[in-house]
Structure 1
């Protein structure tokens, strides 16, 4: 009788232990690794790191992850050797099982760098240089040195990088982003050029890229791009000077500093700068400037390869974010005077005694 009692107690003890273990393991598998409201934590998994070490790193970072349990679950599920290296974020939604699945699928942290349309190539490089998640290999290199380092078949970097939001993972280099941006611009330019309207006064894709960069800087309104492009196409067809301020501003900044970015480009032009004969002064030279002056968008590339049919030869800011387009010089001068009066009236209202000057095509 005593022997049966001992056996019964042992069996009951084992069952109780199994129940406790089952509940403990169950909670370990399904409970959130972080409390609700806790900030997410990051862990970096290196190539070859085993499951136990990964769990120890996660636990040390603040996630409640039992290294032994994680190790055996990963082994029993056949996932211990399938975990991918990279940076991972653990959030309050994660459990041991969901985290393990994400580690196997390679659901790593992804970062973003956004380059706005109309930035210059140097602006692009500046954004990469200040991004803490990129590996910096181009810092301090000139545009010519970057072109050589990436073996790009171009003579200048301006205009050659597509403005976009680039998504990348930890360990990505700045040169990888630059190469992707270059390839993206080439793809967009090639597509626009291949489907261009007939009889354009643009001889090469580079001409289209240059003009698109000017359109990009002249207007930010989507419904104006085609018409602004149409004005410049009309001027090129007639052999008229483009007379576009953004090109002159670019040339002034380039002559002063060698590179052009938001910090070096002047906000306004002096009369002497408008009269100075430089490659980018479209007031004194006929035709396109020698290079693009910014990074054009897809919309601007489409605008110059499919310009709006217009008889306008001039445009000037209208004071409300858009432009007034004119067919004759007389009409344009009237529009300029109207714009100046509006700007002077606004200046008087804020106590500014400085006279306004017009922008756009003169």
Structure 2
């Protein structure tokens, strides 16, 4: 039984200490902390937790970086209008990226280089000039350079130009580079339209033209008629160059070729005006004036009014159609032709027919020179046999 009413006796029978009112109001001291666990004090656990934390932070950071990099890779780029950009031969990924960024195609060269590394296409980037559309993304820009579809340019070489004139056209093209060491042989180049990309040299175009001509000459010569008065591929090209210069109408070439074949067979001089011009000015191609009587009488190795047979070399670079016409000419008896005022020619078997055609052409020339007052036509003077009067 307790000595204090209303209180139980402590279990050990001791009496509790009696506190003063002041002491009873003061807070009691906190109980002592429990002793630390040996496991919590293990330094390897601390290090493991640190590593796990760092890895988790790194993973989150990497995922965030990848997300933003991916977004930057596929998002529309800064280009406001399409632009052609040239990637020089031998450029590496860093140089390509820097060129694209400098030209405003992409926003970050780092994203481009990172994508190249990620996809393992460092060695597949191709040089050339590429057209990048407006708002091209980095992904699209990389695909364009990987695909290698560079901008194509064209240069057209018409039939009938001399080699010197062809080189002049190539020099006038400001996309082609370099120069040609020497003027190619007359008749050794194939007229055509040639495609090329920026960085192509003029010599490369010339080499391509020469290769095409060599192949075409052999193919056409192999299909020649057996009774022609020409004995070699070289003679075929010479005659084709004369045909090419005499007419610009495709449907006339076989007939014009037939006239010259008939003349060669009959041992009549070809009397072709373009050979006179070439004998005077050579590869420059143009006399710059009408042919005079003195020009006709001037003896040069090319003047077919003064020499028998063919000139020593072609007088231009003929196209395939002119060569085809020479080896398979139209069979007829014509030995004369003269301009008819329509861009074509009037053909004749006899001198009498030819003189009438010449008179008609001279009338047309007078009307063109003075359309208001045309004097009456006078009969033309007789023309010597063989004179083509073109």
TM > 0.5: yes
5+ long unaligned stretches in structure 1 = 1-9, 148-156, 255-259
Q: Secondary structure at the match of 1:342?
A: helix
Q: Which residue of 2 aligns with 1:261?
A: 284
Q: Secondary structure at the match of 2:263?
A: helix
Distance 1:62 1:93, change over 3 A: closer
Q: Which residue of 1 aligns with 2:170?
A: 128
2:196 is the alignment partner of 1:168: yes
Q: Secondary structure at the match of 1:111?
A: strand
Q: Which residue of 1 aligns with 2:147?
A: 105
- Hey, what's the Cα distance between the residues in 2 that align with 1:142 and 1:48? 32
The alignment of Structure 1 onto Structure 2 pairs a total of residues equal to 323
1:288 is aligned, of 310, 313, 321, to 310
- Hey, what's the Cα distance between the residues in 1 that align with 2:114 and 2:348? 77
2:342 is the alignment partner of 1:320: yes
Q: How does 1:1-362 map to 2 (within 5 A)?
A: 18=64, 22=67, 25-26=70-71, 28-31=73-76, 34-35=79-80, 38-50=81-93, 52-92=94-134, 94-138=136-180, 142-143=182-183, 157-254=185-282, 260-262=283-285, 264-349=286-371, 361-362=388-389
- Hey, what's the Cα distance between the residues in 1 that align with 2:300 and 2:135? 61
Distance 1:226 1:47, change over 3 A: same
> Deviation of residue 280 (structure 1)?
1.1
- Hey, what's the Cα distance between the residues in 1 that align with 2:373 and 2:149? 57
Root-mean-square deviation (CA, aligned residues, Å) is 2.9
- Hey, what's the Cα distance between the residues in 2 that align with 1:289 and 1:299? 21
- Hey, what's the Cα distance between the residues in 1 that align with 2:200 and 2:168? 16
- The answer to which structure, 1 or 2, has the higher relative contact order (CA under 8 A, 6+ apart) is 1
Distance 1:214 1:103, change over 3 A: same
Query: Rg larger in 1 or in 2?
Result: 2
TM-score, L = length of structure 2: 0.75
Question: Could you give the per-residue CA deviations for residues 1-54 of structure 1, whole angstroms, max 9, x where no partner exists?
Answer: xxxxxxxxx99xx79x95x9747743641525523xx2413132441522x432
Question: Could you give the per-residue CA deviations for residues 262-308 of structure 1, whole angstroms, max 9, x where no partner exists?
Answer: 5x533421101101121111112221111111110110010001101
